[in-house]
């Protein structure tokens, strides 16, 4: 099968999932064509079945904002035509689903029907998509897709709740590549950060307010007051400067390190003892799953799709959003040497349920159904 994959080439969840999915499909023998404005960060290997097509966005004085959606639709048409692509899979509804619809209509006018699968990832539904500026286009694009998937049951229900969607949405959860995310031998790295055997706590995100990084910092602040610990903050974004000020104001700057964006985040997770995800909303929690695959238990909020991943009292604990006191209590319990080994083992066991080899066939089956249902529509 020849599949065109459209995504944001970023460190965010939707871009990571799209890239790892494409790589997995390529290893299974499918020909994958990535279509985006720059090469995704995790597209870091050579495979004869993987191709990258850059969307060229011309700059003209007339345009205050470059018309990316039009350029993207045009490139989709070109790739489908020139590479004989069977199906387009677009990740994140805005603007990829509407651009794919435009491309589909152009191709149909040329006598070719190429079905479109749209995967909903989270903020394209729960935040951006609900904005009145985008809602009609998002609703239309979802309804006009030939197949729609969401990364969690919670996101599926949110979509039905906030949009006038009258088509089936299949839940296909996010996944993790256990050949990459596993407990590696990186003790020299941990020794450099925790020379006196401190517990190592990690948080990774894009540093937006919805991630509630201040809750992660405050949780760590109270934990380190009761046991030796260090905190690694991985990522970057609009909240970083404020969080750095908070860390200084709390007097714990020596115990906290800001690592910025990392591609090889698994090297950090490999030596961590606990992962914090106190988000206000998470459609799934891909970063948490990657941590669990590295045998790192999870302290999280109970928001969004996190209860579909984090098993209360087994892989970690969940608390109401903003309940720092409860997160501190739970973190101290997990980090106790009498409990930590069991939680680590449970985290890995749970992560194995989302291994790439288990999820990949679900996408392949979805593609096959979409292609079969699309065949009668070919003129």
Q: What is the mean pLDDT of residues 192-219?
A: 94
Output 178 or 47, whichever has higher pLDDT.
178
Evaluate whether 235 touches 211 at the Cβ level (below 8 Å). Answer: no
> What string of H, E and C letters represents the secondary structure of 307-322?
HHCCCECCCEEEECCC
Strand order from edge to edge, sheet including 170-171: 50-54, 31-36, 2-6, 87-91, 116-120, 147-150, 170-171
When pLDDT is cut at 50, 70 and 90, the band that residue 377 belongs to is very low
Which pLDDT does position 73 carry in this prediction?
A: 94
User: How many angstroms separate the CA atoms of 24 and 17, rounded?
Assistant: 10
pLDDT tens digits, residue range 294-331? 999 999 999 999 999 999 999 999 999 999 999 999 99
In 250-322, which residue ranges form alpha helices assigned H by DSSP?
A: 265-269, 286-293
Of 124-133, 152-161, 252-261, give the lowest mean pLDDT range.
124-133
**Bridge partners of 254?**
none
Q: How much is the pLDDT for 379?
A: 44
CA distance 124 to 94: 6
Helix (H) or strand (E) holding 202: strand 199-204
272-283 pLDDT, tens digit per residue, is: 999 999 999 899
Question: Who has greater pLDDT, 314 or 262?
Answer: 314
Confidence band, pLDDT 50/70/90 cuts, at residue 131: low
Residue 126: pLDDT band (50, 70, 90) is: low
Q: What's the pLDDT score for residue 72? A: 93
Measured CA to CA, the distance from residue 106 to residue 372 in angstroms comes to 21
| Statement: residue 376 has pLDDT above 60 | no
Q: Is 200 helix (H, G, I), strand (E, B) or coil?
A: strand
Q: Does residue 378 have a pLDDT over 50?
A: no
Q: What percent of the chain has pLDDT over 70?
A: 95
CA gap 285, 142 in Å, rounded: 23
Helix (H) or strand (E) holding 155: helix 153-162
Across the chain, what does the average pLDDT equal?
Answer: 91
Name the β-bridge partners of 298. Answer: 275, 316
Amino acid 129: pLDDT: 47
> Is the pLDDT confidence value at 155 over 50?
yes
Look at residue 214 and tell me whether its pLDDT is greater than 70. yes
Question: pLDDT class for 125, splitting at 50, 70, 90?
Answer: confident
Res 241: pLDDT:
95
- Domains in the chain (CATH in brackets) are 2-175+356-377 (3.40.50.2000), 187-354 (3.40.50.2000)
| pLDDT tens, residue by residue, 66-123 | 788 899 999 999 999 999 999 999 998 888 999 999 999 999 999 999 999 999 987 7
Residue 82 corresponds to which tokens in the numbers above? 């020139």
Strands (DSSP E) contained in 57-146 are: 87-91, 116-120
Nearest partner of 347 among 299, 286, 295, 270, judged by Cα = 295
Q: How far apart are the first and last CA of the chain?
A: 21
């Amino acid at each position: 099968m020849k599949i065109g994959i459209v995504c944001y080439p970023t460190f965010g969840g939707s871009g990571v999932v799209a890239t790892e999915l494409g790589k997995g499909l390529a290893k299974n023998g499918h020909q994958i064509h990535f279509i985006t404005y720059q090469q995704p960060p995790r597209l870091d290997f050579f495979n004869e079945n993987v191709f990258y097509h850059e969307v060229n966005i011309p700059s003209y004085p007339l345009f205050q904002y470059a018309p990316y959606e039009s350029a993207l639709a045009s490139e989709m048409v070109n790739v489908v035509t020139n590479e004989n692509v069977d199906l387009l899979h677009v990740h994140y509804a805005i603007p990829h689903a509407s651009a794919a619809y435009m491309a589909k209509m152009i191709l149909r006018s040329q006598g070719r029907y190429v079905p479109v699968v749209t995967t909903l990832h989270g903020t394209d539904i729960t935040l951006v998509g609900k904005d009145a500026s985008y809602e009609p286009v998002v609703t239309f694009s979802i309804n006009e897709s030939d197949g729609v998937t969401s990364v969690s049951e919670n996101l599926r229900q949110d979509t039905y709740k906030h949009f006038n969607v009258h088509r089936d949405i299949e839940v296909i959860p996010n996944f993790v590549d256990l050949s990459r995310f596993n407990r590696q031998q990186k003790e020299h790295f941990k020794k450099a950060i925790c020379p006196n055997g401190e517990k190592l706590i990690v948080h990774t995100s894009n540093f937006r307010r919805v991630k509630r990084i201040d809750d992660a910092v405050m949780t760590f602040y109270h934990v380190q007051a009761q046991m030796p610990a260090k905190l690694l903050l991985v990522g970057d974004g609009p909240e970083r400067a404020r969080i750095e000020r908070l860390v200084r104001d709390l007097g714990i700057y020596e115990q906290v390190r800001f690592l910025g964006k990392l591609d090889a985040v698994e090297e950090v997770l490999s030596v961590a003892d606990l992962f914090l995800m106190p988000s206000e909303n998470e459609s799934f929690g891909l970063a948490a799953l990657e941590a669990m695959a590295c045998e790192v238990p999870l302290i999280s909020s109970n928001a969004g799709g996190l209860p579909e991943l984090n098993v209360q009292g087994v892989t970690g604990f969940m608390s109401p959003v903003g309940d720092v006191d409860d997160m501190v209590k739970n973190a101290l319990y997990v980090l106790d040497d009498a409990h930590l080994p069991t939680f680590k083992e449970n985290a890995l066991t749970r992560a194995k349920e989302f291994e790439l080899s288990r999820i990949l066939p679900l996408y392949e089956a979805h593609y096959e159904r979409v292609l079969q249902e699309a065949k009668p529509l070919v003129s």
